[in-house]
Structure 1
Amino acid sequence: MIDNLSAYLKTVTRLTFFFLSVCCVCWAVFPAQQAWWGGLVIGTIASLVNALHLGWKVIRIGENAAAGGNRRSTLGYVTRACIGVLAAVIATRTFDFRIEAVAAGLIVAQLATLLLGFWTIRKRERTQSLDERGENN
């Protein structure tokens, strides 16, 4: 399971970096909307950091449970919320980017994870046989 999670995190990271590169190209091509594209970039970076932090916490909790530890752990919601607030503060106070774009960027990695999950389920359904014994009649 942990190997699958690491592979999914790597794929989500690649998809997020691809989205970031598209945003940077659009920022260069459409200079009138720099405030929007910059906010989207800041929000997307914060979204990726949140996704990687959540993946790290899930791996740690899984390792603790597998080792038989009884230490209680949380998924770090407050930390992830603070990362989102920090991105909003940096975007508005330092760079004067649009807060709406930051909010939209904060869901990019989670949306990529959702789409990757749907794609994986659909791929698994296509490869599985419909009959019990696995033969085609």
Structure 2
Amino acid sequence: MDEILTRSTRTACWFLAICLMCWAVLPEWRIYSAGVALGVSASLVNAFLLRKRVAWIGTLYKDNPNPPRKVGLGLASRLAMVLLATMLAYRFPDRFHLPSVLYSCFFMPVVSLFFAFLNNRRSS
């Protein structure tokens, strides 16, 4: 899983660099590239939050013979991150394009799924 997340993070950083170059070079696309950069950033933070939470749950169940009954995956914190990005885009519509932010919040799950598919195909 670490290899897939590393490749996905590297892809997200390259994509952010391309978005920032588009923001700097193309003034008419500035609002769209800023929205995509905000959404990809929120998606990147969500991926790291999920990785940290899954690692914590793994150690909790591995080390404890009687784990607690109710342990979640931290959905509220990840939803709050997407909500924060959406609220920023809603509050500043002259700087961020709201649909671009919402669409790009799904960047890391899609890229991670793509790399997991490639990794599975290569191993079999």
TM-score normalised by length of structure 2: 0.90
- Aligned equivalent of 1:130: none
Amino acid paired to 2:88 = I
**CA positional deviation for 1:95:** 6.2
Residue 6 (structure 1) aligned with residue 2 (structure 2)? yes
CA distance in 1, matches of 2:119, 2:2: 15
Deviation readout 1:30-83 (Å, 9 max, x if unpaired): 210111110000000000001110111001001111112412321111111110
CA distance in 1, matches of 2:81, 2:47: 11
Identity %: 30
**What residue ranges of structure 2 are gaps of 5+ in the alignment?**
none
TM-score normalised by length of structure 1: 0.82
Deviation readout 1:100-126 (Å, 9 max, x if unpaired): 00011101111110111111011112x
CA distance in 2, matches of 1:35, 1:92: 13
Aligned ranges 1:14-29 → 2 under 5 Å: 14-29=10-25
Greater radius of gyration (CA): 1
CA distance in 1, matches of 2:90, 2:99: 10
The number of residue pairs the alignment matches comes to: 121
**What residue ranges of structure 1 are gaps of 5+ in the alignment?**
126-137
**3-state SS in 2 of match to 1:24:** helix
- Aligned equivalent of 1:32: 28
Aligned ranges 1:1-137 → 2 under 5 Å: 5-68=1-64, 69-71=66-68, 72-94=70-92, 96=94, 97-125=96-124
